[in-house]
């Protein structure tokens, strides 16, 4: 998922992910606290990204900062995994982290078309239902898929 924590917070608060600069910061009480996620506008306009520090965030009235809601993030991750299970068997989903999974699309061609088409369909469903953007790396195995993802993003 792209900007997973920030996208989940935006969904929870009804914030437009393309129009609002949002960052999720680990701890408001510590200036050196790390930014866990930032929406695209935060990255583009203010140069704040995952790994930036809270003290680097400019004081601007448009910027919205949130602390993490880990139980909500985990719940959303499980909900998205259940959505993916509408496209493939559960044992074809390999959860790697809260915001990343590997999905084996082998044998789904008759239902969803090529792996590229299936991936686009899943991405569209996640975006439509939860307003959480995602990125995909395709490959013949998990290593190649991860390398393709990292190269592309």
Spot the catalytic one: 44, 56, 100, 116: 100
Instruction: Determine phi and psi for 42, rounding to 5 degrees.
Output: -65, -40
Residue where the block lists tokens 């061609």:
109
Residue where the block lists tokens 């909900």:
79
> Is 44 a residue of the active site?
no
Three-state secondary-structure class, residue 77: helix
H or E stretch including 106? none
Which residues are catalytic, by number? 100
């Amino acid at each position: 998922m792209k900007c997973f924590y920030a996208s989940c917070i935006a969904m929870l608060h009804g914030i437009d992910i393309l129009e609002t600069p949002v960052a999720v910061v680990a701890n408001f009480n510590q200036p050196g606290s790390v930014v866990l996620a930032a929406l695209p506008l935060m990255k583009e306009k203010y140069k704040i990204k995952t790994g930036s520090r809270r003290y680097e965030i400019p004081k601007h009235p448009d910027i919205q900062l949130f602390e993490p809601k880990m139980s909500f993030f985990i719940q959303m991750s499980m909900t998205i995994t259940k959505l993916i299970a509408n496209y493939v068997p559960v044992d074809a989903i390999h959860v790697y982290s809260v915001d990343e999974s590997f999905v084996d699309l082998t044998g789904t061609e008759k239902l969803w078309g090529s792996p590229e088409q299936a991936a686009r369909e899943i991405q569209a469903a996640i975006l439509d239902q939860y307003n959480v953007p995602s990125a995909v790396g395709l490959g013949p195995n998990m290593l190649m898929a991860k390398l393709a993802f990292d190269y592309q993003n």
